[in-house]
Chains A and B, each alone.
Chain A
Amino acid sequence: MNKMATIIGAVVLLAGGYYLGKSGQKPATVIKVDSEPKAAFTSSGAEEVAAAAPAGVVVRSLVTPTSGELIIVKDGESIQDAVAAASPGAVIKVMPGTYKETVYIDKDNITLSGVIEQGRYPVLEGEGLRNDAILYSGNGVTVENFYITHYKGNGVMGQAGNNFIIRNNFIVDTGIYGIFPQLGKNGIVSHNIVSGIEDAAIYVGMSDNVDVVYNHVFDSVAGIEIENSRHSLVEANFVYNNTGGILAFITPGLPIKTCGDVLIRNNFIVNNNHENFAIEGSLVSNIPPGTGVLVMACDDVVVEGNIITGNNSMGITFTDFSLAGNAANDPESEPNPNRPRVLNNIMRDNGNDPAPVVRAALAALLETTGPDIIDTVGMDDGCILNPERYRTIGLDKYTECEFSTTANIASYTLPEPVPARSMDDLDKGKLAYFGVCAGCHAYSTRMIGPPTQIIQALYMDNPQGIADYAANPVKKRPDYPEMPPQSHLDEETRLAAAEYMLKVQEGWAR
């Protein structure tokens, strides 16, 4: 009951600090008409998107590039075989049927697209045996139109792929996370229906510029979680009957330590009262049932235009790591939910039947009903519009927001794919020469292979000859070991390395 004690402790502390001497005081109702429009919303994400998107660009115009290559997978065949055969730019169409496999995509620009016939989807069936349904690490991956069920791990999991699109999938009764893009930049998660997930139905982890829009998530521990991520838009999702609806978190102890610039806008966050069935030790096991929106340590979160009703503990919560009492502290993670911003939201029937931990904390405040909005830290840099509309705790230092809408931000995704790294002196041939070839070839001294100088003299202006030999070497010199094939380098890289090898000089500085 460690976590219970922690939450009680947090709220009691708050009660002591806040309510003593102020009990019973309600915010005054202010009736006024603004004489001039409020300021426009600004954020670092807004600037990034504006710089990348000329006016008139279609919202969320990101697409996976295609080459025209088409591979069709029929029921009884293997999707992974198709992925293995595909080249970047391929579209893999998967016909309705049942596919019992883990699909992994370690190449760029692959569209994995289910074909829906008369309502029949291609089903990825984990049978309670397989780990994850779809893993991807390539950039520019689209996953759409699948029905994924009974996996032990995740439905769709990304590791560092940028420019991803995950849409129109059903993910039912599947493991830890339904959809989990991690360590990627620029992605869209939309129109998915996700339910029965032990942790977060949709979980954006350590990522930048991701839109989570038009999804339907229910019967999970956490509906949508934005964690250690920046520039994320969570909009127009229907989030109900989870333990907690929409979360913006810093999890301490991760290598990317910030969370911020998250817009939670125009969502339906309704009746998130599900029993918490998270795995012991997980962060979300701390969430009290009946939690609508929960912001832990994440900065610059804007909550706007949501319909937040029927969440039995609290509508919106801003808190620090005191909620995460089961995790080790991270001295490098800043715990406060800095600059919380609550614009106009529709809130009703929240807090009607608080979870026991919340009820106990409320009892210390002589309350029996949970608040619409609570700030357990008592931040002094927050803002809110029309606070008198809500039952609040801990918001007495909040001021009036200087903006009333974030409508000027249509998306936090970038219209063009994030490019591969741009390095000033990026020369694939040079990187391959020093990073690979140099293990055996030094310029003028004998190592495992003959000196580069010798090779230059032999091949002169024939880099293709080096590239071809490196792919299929034969023993040439009695006094040297046979060269191992370098076919792991693709043809372009081999040729670039060969060209560089022919022009490099001793101590050559570009």
Chain B
Amino acid sequence: MTRHKPGFLPIVATVVWLAAVWLAAVPHVAQASGIKLSQVCPAGFELVQGQCKLRSLYQMYPSLEDAGVGGLKTGLPAYRDGFSPQQIDLGRYLFFDPVLSGDGSVSCASCHQPDRGFADGRGRSVGASGHPVRRSAPSLWNVAFQQRLFWDARAGSLEEQMLGPLYDEHEMATSPEQLLAALNGIPQYRELFRQAWPADYQSADANIRLDHVYQAIAAFQTSLISLNSRYDHYAHGYADALTEPEKEGLNVFRSFVARCAECHTPPLFTNQQIAVIGTPEPEGMPFDPGASEPLGEPTLRGGFKVPSLRNIELTAPYMHSGRFATLREAAAFYTGGRGHAVPEGEDLKIHWHIWEPGLTDAELDRLVDFLATLTDESFKPREPTELPSGMRPVHNGGAREGAVPQDGALTHE
């Protein structure tokens, strides 16, 4: 297509051209020939030589030792990007498709619902078996920046992480064989994998590869960027982006009395370390040893990865097993005294920043005010209305809604 410099065009031609563009901009209705994967990057990414590259105003800022922790104008930590638009879009379909679960009852989106901050609103998630699992589903916003995954930090990549929920009998309860068989049995998926990796699927009988399934899902997950909150507007220099109470909350948050920012460090609001803070489990649930088991480090007993607080307003209840129903309760935990909720007989190496800050009720309220300024869903992806499997999306369907006891039998994650 030849592009014209608009300035040289007569007005009439402009209007005609404009009309043509308008028509071109109308979204395509899915044709009988099937789904066509997107050729453009999701919001927040620039297409550079076939790869979607993250673009953010935070890329203007330095970061000490490139660690991505600091203050308001600090650069981002290391992240994953560079997937193609087609791979990201294929991942989107897979993410929402219940064909990935053993009995077709759940999809990734069942526990990572776009309308619930990519979490599920539960203290402990519920998968295909109907039993609550051990821990809560973390939000997927900004997961591109996470160096380690799971509450106990046991996975080093998204591809490694997703093996957990996909194949756990209480979560998606499928198997690699079943997953491949299901996908390969759907011609539409064969076609979509060909669109995403043309070189690898030239042959008509090329089978879908598991590593491509994982990569596509990771590609979609890493496209979930939330860096345009009102807090971010403030950080970039717009002083009026926050109200006075919210600014007070920011100052409590970063004060060395509350010390929130020491671990929930901007710009991602996590320092990605493991911290032993001694939060309680839900009533009746045994103590969770956390990171000490997978890392083989006894002093990390009760330690969990510091979660990002971006979009935290959307993902109640809080902590690894959802003990706290509200942000206010979660914030108040930190002023309850060092180790106040540690069960009898547990000798934990409680983090040095857990102390007795003596926060007032007003300060706790201001903290909650501030945390709500970290909400930004402006790059929320569209949910597919039809799925390559022909199945209906299930994540909003409520199949698993209803009375699930929070203190039900412990099952492994």
Chain A residues near B (Cβ < 8 Å):
84, 102, 104, 106-107, 131-132, 135, 137-139, 152-154, 157-162, 175-177, 180, 183-185, 206-208, 251, 253-256, 258, 279-283, 326-331, 418-421, 423, 426, 428, 430-436, 438-440, 442-447, 450-451, 453-454, 456-458, 460-461, 487-490, 493, 505-510
Chain B residues near A (Cβ < 8 Å):
3, 6-7, 14, 17-18, 21-22, 24-27, 39-40, 43-49, 55-65, 67, 69-75, 227-228, 230, 233-239, 241, 247, 251-252, 254-258, 261, 265-266, 271-276, 295, 297, 299-300, 303, 338, 349-352, 354-355, 358, 378-379
List the B side residues contacting A431 at CB < 8 Å: 55-57, 59-60
- Given contacts A451-B25, A489-B236, are A253 and B275 in contact (CB under 8 A)? yes
A-B contact pairs, 18 of them (CB 8 A): A131-B255, A132-B255, A159-B254, A160-B63, A160-B73, A175-B257, A183-B64, A253-B351, A326-B349, A327-B299, A438-B379, A453-B24, A454-B21, A457-B21, A489-B236, A489-B238, A507-B39, A509-B49
**How far does the Cβ of A109 sit from chain B's closest Cβ, in whole Å?**
12
List the B side residues contacting A329 at CB < 8 Å: 297, 299-300
Whether the pair B40, A442 counts as a contact (CB closer than 8 A) is: yes
**How far does the Cβ of A195 sit from chain B's closest Cβ, in whole Å?**
18
Whether the pair A153, B46 counts as a contact (CB closer than 8 A) is: no
**How far does the Cβ of B166 sit from chain A's closest Cβ, in whole Å?**
28
Measured in the bound complex, the distance between the Cα atoms of B56 and A433 in whole Å is: 9
**How far does the Cβ of B359 sit from chain A's closest Cβ, in whole Å?**
9
Measured in the bound complex, the distance between the Cα atoms of B13 and A457 in whole Å is: 11
| Cβ-defined partner of B18 (8 Å) among A183, A258, A439, A454 | A454
Whether the pair B349, A206 counts as a contact (CB closer than 8 A) is: no
Closest 3 CB pairs of A and B: A160-B70, A160-B71, A434-B55
List the A side residues contacting B274 at CB < 8 Å: 253, 328
Measured in the bound complex, the distance between the Cα atoms of B108 and A333 in whole Å is: 35
Measured in the bound complex, the distance between the Cα atoms of B265 and A132 in whole Å is: 17
List the A side residues contacting B266 at CB < 8 Å: 159-160
Whether the pair B45, A160 counts as a contact (CB closer than 8 A) is: no
Beyond A432-B57, A436-B57, list 17 extra A-B contacts (CB 8 Å).
A84-B239, A177-B256, A206-B67, A251-B352, A254-B273, A255-B265, A281-B355, A326-B352, A327-B349, A421-B62, A439-B378, A442-B43, A444-B21, A457-B14, A457-B18, A507-B40, A507-B47
**How far does the Cβ of B265 sit from chain A's closest Cβ, in whole Å?**
7
- Given contacts A159-B261, A254-B271, A256-B67, are A454 and B299 in contact (CB under 8 A)? no
Whether the pair B252, A131 counts as a contact (CB closer than 8 A) is: yes
- Given contacts A131-B256, A253-B275, are A446 and B27 in contact (CB under 8 A)? yes
Whether the pair A454, B25 counts as a contact (CB closer than 8 A) is: yes
Whether the pair B254, A440 counts as a contact (CB closer than 8 A) is: no
| Cβ-defined partner of A253 (8 Å) among B27, B56, B255, B273 | B273
- Given contacts A176-B256, A185-B64, are A435 and B57 in contact (CB under 8 A)? yes
Measured in the bound complex, the distance between the Cα atoms of B237 and A84 in whole Å is: 11
List the A side residues contacting B275 at CB < 8 Å: 253
- Given contacts A254-B273, A328-B303, are A159 and B48 in contact (CB under 8 A)? no
Interface of A is mostly: loop
| Cβ-defined partner of B27 (8 Å) among A153, A256, A445 | A445
**How far does the Cβ of A28 sit from chain B's closest Cβ, in whole Å?**
42
List the B side residues contacting A451 at CB < 8 Å: 21, 25
Whether the pair A418, B351 counts as a contact (CB closer than 8 A) is: no
- Given contacts A131-B252, A328-B351, A436-B57, are A456 and B6 in contact (CB under 8 A)? yes
Whether the pair A283, B352 counts as a contact (CB closer than 8 A) is: yes
Whether the pair B55, A255 counts as a contact (CB closer than 8 A) is: no
List the B side residues contacting A251 at CB < 8 Å: 352
Whether the pair B60, A153 counts as a contact (CB closer than 8 A) is: no
- Given contacts A255-B272, A434-B45, are A446 and B56 in contact (CB under 8 A)? no
Q: Give the residue among A176, A207, A256, A438 with the most B Cβ atoms within 10 A.
A: A438
Measured in the bound complex, the distance between the Cα atoms of B237 and A436 in whole Å is: 15
Whether the pair A256, B65 counts as a contact (CB closer than 8 A) is: yes
Measured in the bound complex, the distance between the Cα atoms of B70 and A418 in whole Å is: 15
Measured in the bound complex, the distance between the Cα atoms of B40 and A506 in whole Å is: 8
Measured in the bound complex, the distance between the Cα atoms of B46 and A453 in whole Å is: 16
Whether the pair B256, A208 counts as a contact (CB closer than 8 A) is: no
Measured in the bound complex, the distance between the Cα atoms of B257 and A139 in whole Å is: 23
| Cβ-defined partner of B61 (8 Å) among A254, A421, A444 | A421
List the B side residues contacting A434 at CB < 8 Å: 43-46, 55-56
List the A side residues contacting B239 at CB < 8 Å: 84, 106
| Cβ-defined partner of B62 (8 Å) among A162, A180, A433 | A162
Measured in the bound complex, the distance between the Cα atoms of B72 and A428 in whole Å is: 17
List the B side residues contacting A279 at CB < 8 Å: 355
Whether the pair B74, A183 counts as a contact (CB closer than 8 A) is: yes
Measured in the bound complex, the distance between the Cα atoms of B60 and A419 in whole Å is: 11
List the A side residues contacting B297 at CB < 8 Å: 328-329, 331
- Given contacts A434-B44, A435-B55, are A152 and B257 in contact (CB under 8 A)? yes
Whether the pair B72, A435 counts as a contact (CB closer than 8 A) is: no
List the A side residues contacting B22 at CB < 8 Å: 454
| Cβ-defined partner of B256 (8 Å) among A157, A421, A435 | A157
